[in-house]
Amino acid sequence: MCNFAHAMRPLVILCTVLLNGFIALENGLVRTPPMGWMSWERFRCQTNCVEYPDDCISEKLIKRTVDRMISDGWKEVGYEYIITDDCWPEKERDRNTQEIVADRKRFPSGIEGLGEYIHDHGLKFGIYLDYGTLTCAGYPGSMNFLEIDSKSLAKWKVDYVKVDGCNSPVEAMADGYEKFGRLLNETGRPIVYSCSYPAYIPWRSNPGRLDWGRLKTNCNLWRMFGDIDDSWDSVLTIINLMRDTQSTLQPIAGPGHWNDPDMLVIGNFGLSLDQERVQMGMWCLFAAPLLISADMDHMNPDSAEILKNPLLISINQDSGGHQAKYIATKNGVQLWTRLLADQPNTWAIAFMNPVSGGSTKAISVALKDMHLESPPLEPKFFDLIDVFTGEVFGSVQLNEMFTVRVNPTGIVMFKVEMHKPAYIAHILLQYLGLRNVSCPSSNASALQIDVDAAKQWSLGWHLPLNDEKCVHMSFGGDSANSFVMHGEKGPEDITRIDAKKDLGIWLSPNLSFSLHLEKSAQKAFAVLRMIRRTFSRITRTDFQILYGAYVRPLLEYANPVVYSGRTKDVILIERVQRAATKMVAGLKSVNEFSQWWCKRTWLF
């Protein structure tokens, strides 16, 4: 027995090592890039709370940031980590426990108390350590104290730790960071692990100096370059580094493991509005962590709008985790493409002008030039949605040229989606009986004809209602099949007036208005249900097209005559309108819808 146990010992050790590595790789955290706030770039290592009471690294700064993240809706859009960078501890460890201790004057509640405050507000608690003997600012480092510090993080209920690499030997970093990752896992506390050591190793000229597989196995995210500054030169330098090293960095990015080009400096002093759009747009294309470093009490509205942009955030948080590819430079403008996974056949593309002088640059391309990955479905018709405005720039085919104009140090960025009316037009057209349409796989050309017709019809109706075509009519006249129009001069027989024959309404003498309204409303409800089943969430722009093409005509045909006494018929039509209203994200209330409708504007 003793000999058998001795023989099995190497296997047990091997299994333990493999298990530790597996846990580090699959801790289940940050399956999309982390979003939050980090203190360093804006507040650095300001510890003079007498002269700078609002800006020093302190409990007060962190708590007011937490309060603002809640009150201004940052948490609601995804920013959840609150990370205190360097300069939070005392200059010496606790003499008895050897633990790192928060500065007692600047953090009177201690680190545990600060963490409780953050957690009580539904946010996540992040903190800074350094693998070396000292932090970059000269505070206690973690070398020789890795086990103590890992247990401290768990005791403080930390959710995120950034481990810097100052004052440590480069050759010891890979082993040291891996060891600390294992120790974090052994605590049982789920902690996002941000590793900075790639930024300290000169790997760009020789990527083989870093074991990238090992890095990905042991860290959730990692810094690759030096610190960002609040300047366009700094932002552009990082973008160009991401471009130049994409063959190394792109393959290792993905759910749970992210390349970190450093903090967002949007909302500070050094960038113009165009340049802020560039940083946010490119960081979202990179699938980079979105960690704001700004004074949240003094965030200007334009910068806040960029940082909260729902289209940009959805691109950044796309579940596929694909990092964008640099495609080419055309007329001095960089072309970038990112494959998205949350919707089939969807991409993000960008045109970034790095030049600070001159006028706008005009770029003409086709989607096929952007190297879209994965074969698109038929029909090859796509919407270009401007991510900064949410408006549809245009609908194009893969080989169709389009032109954009890019400001100096600016960006034009689109989300590319299959044209939604095209995507379901054959289903709706078949249901409505408007035409026999083949499914895309068997007869794409027939579908394209129907799609083009539906698209042109829909776009043609996005106009103000022509009041001259809105008249009050009733049965009458000298013919059983005629009805009269009531105007200022009295009843007129519409069948005898050529100018009025294009109203597009035909009535049978046997028509029952209430029955007609009921059947048309039933069909409209059925179409709405079909749209709801097809899309779990639909934007207002997309819904406008579908509603205008397939629902509104049914209501117009159902209600050509308004009878003041037919209240139940009016209510029936309004039920359809209310059902449609509830399907559109961002539509505030039924009252608002009704007001728009009564004013005869084309909401849909």
Whether 74 contacts 304, CB under 8 Å: no
* Residue of 55, 72, 227, 493 marked active site: 227
Cα distance between residue 106 and residue 83, in whole Å: 16
Same domain, 125 and 241: yes
Same domain, 412 and 485: no
Same domain, 214 and 352: no
Cα distance between residue 288 and residue 316, in whole Å: 7
| pLDDT tens digit sequence for 89-120 | 999 999 999 999 999 999 999 999 999 999 99
Q: Is residue 158 part of a domain?
A: yes
**Where does a domain end: 293, 316, 339?**
316
Beta-carbon count within 10 A of 12 CB = 10
CATH number at residue 265: 3.20.20.70
Q: What are the residues facing 339 on neighbouring strands? A: 347
Q: What are the residues facing 457 on neighbouring strands? A: none
Q: Is residue 570 part of a domain?
A: no
Write out residues in the chain with pLDDT < 50, as ranges.
1-25, 423, 425-427, 429-489, 503-509, 511, 560-565, 588-604
Is-catalytic flag, 233?
no
Beta-carbon count within 10 A of 141 CB = 23
Close Cβ partners of 415 (under 8 Å, ≥ 6 residues apart): 311, 315, 340, 346, 347, 348, 384, 385, 387
At 572 the pLDDT is 66
Same domain, 329 and 306: no
Is-catalytic flag, 227?
yes
* Residue of 86, 149, 159, 164 marked active site: 164
Whether 428 contacts 527, CB under 8 Å: yes
Query: Which H, E and C letters describe 323-357, residue by residue?
Result: CCEEEEEECCEEEEEEEECCCCCEEEEEEECCCCC
Domain of 393, in residue numbers = 325-418
Cα distance between residue 302 and residue 276, in whole Å: 10
Both tokens assigned to 265: 């400096």
Same domain, 196 and 286: yes
Q: Is residue 587 part of a domain?
A: no
Same domain, 331 and 455: no
Query: Which H, E and C letters describe 291-321, residue by residue?
Result: EECCCHHHCCHHHHHHHCCHHHHHHHCCCCC
Count of structural domains, the chain: 4
At 443 the pLDDT is 34
Same domain, 214 and 289: yes
